[in-house]
A and B are shown apart, each in its own frame.
Chain A
Amino acid sequence: MIKKFNWQIWFGFLLAFAGAVTYSFVFVDYPALRDFPWTALGFFALALGFLFAGFGRAFAVGSRLRSKIAASIVGLLTLAVMGLFLFAVLIAARWLPESKNAPHVGQAAPEFTLPDINGKPVSLSELRSTPIGGNAPKGVLLIFYRGYW
């Protein structure tokens, strides 16, 4: 029974899963690897290799129906993981509003007053004028982010 275990197909699945997870939690912190998911594609290529090897075994002459079904299910799961990941990173991530009326270079940035993490209101003009380490600031970098819900 141990000898018949189709480890290739399961290893392929693990590789696909590892590719998606490592990109989302590790490589995303390194700009060169984040801007395009090279690491995930590497994992996926290896995963496909093992998937084919696993299919080769499962569908070899004389193999049991059960192993064919199991291999097909794991294979489909592997493809689903890769497909969903690529869809999320390459396609869904581009569904962003156009922001046509966002302030352009050369325009004055709209003023605002918002609470900081202690609930204290802070205005943009304060941010522009409060000294940094004793010197007047040269500028403010506004970073809008999606939030972590």
Chain B
Amino acid sequence: MRSIEKNLGTFEAAGIRPVAISVDSPEETRHLCQKAGYTFTFLSDQNDEAIRRYDLVHEGAGENGKAIARPAEFLLDSSGVVRWLNLTENYWVRARPEQILDAAKTLETK
């Protein structure tokens, strides 16, 4: 996420809107954004609705056995079709901004 924030200008210039999603509450997420200086959109999925719909639930991996999201990135075009995705096999290893921007080059505005 830090690398997304650092490259936010490049993403926006490419017409890409980054959106981060986790099970944290809006308050917790706001604290994270303030502390870390994130300025792009962050959403709270406290009831794992979206996380479940995208089949990314990691049962019991959170605090007190709570379900959380496994890390994943999806690049959608403006019609909402998935054009690129990254389901990492190791949660320390995340997509790099260069990879995402490369994939974004194939997107066209409708």
A binds B: yes
Which residues of A are at the interface with B, using a C-beta cutoff of 8 A? 28-29, 31, 34-35, 89-90, 93-94, 96-97, 99-112, 114-119, 122, 124-125, 127-130, 132-133, 135-149
Q: How far is the CA of A60 from the CA of B28 in the complex (A)?
A: 55
User: How many of B's residues come within 8 Å of A, CB to CB?
Assistant: 74
Are A34 and B93 neighbours in the complex by a CB distance under 8 Å? Answer: yes
Q: How far is the CA of A119 from the CA of B93 in the complex (A)?
A: 30
Shortest distance from the beta carbon of B109 to any chain A beta carbon, whole Å:
5
**A148-B71 contact given A133-B12, A139-B76, A142-B19, CB 8 Å threshold:** no
**A28-B92 contact given A106-B81, A119-B26, A143-B21, CB 8 Å threshold:** yes
Question: Between A and B, how many residue pairs show CB distances below 8 Å?
Answer: 226
Closest to A149 in B: B63
Shortest distance from the beta carbon of B80 to any chain A beta carbon, whole Å:
5
**A117-B68 contact given A96-B58, A103-B54, CB 8 Å threshold:** no
Q: Which residues of A contact B14 (CB under 8 A)?
A: 138
Are A138 and B16 neighbours in the complex by a CB distance under 8 Å? Answer: yes
Which of A96, A118, A149 has a CB less than 8 Å from the CB of B24? A149
Which residues of B are at the interface with A, using a C-beta cutoff of 8 A? 1-4, 11-12, 14-24, 26, 28-30, 32-33, 41-45, 49-51, 53-59, 61-63, 68-85, 87-94, 96, 100, 104, 107-110
Which of A34, A115, A146 has a CB less than 8 Å from the CB of B61? A146
Shortest distance from the beta carbon of B85 to any chain A beta carbon, whole Å:
6
Q: Which residues of A contact B16 (CB under 8 A)?
A: 132, 137-141
Shortest distance from the beta carbon of A44 to any chain B beta carbon, whole Å:
16
Q: How far is the CA of A104 from the CA of B15 in the complex (A)?
A: 22
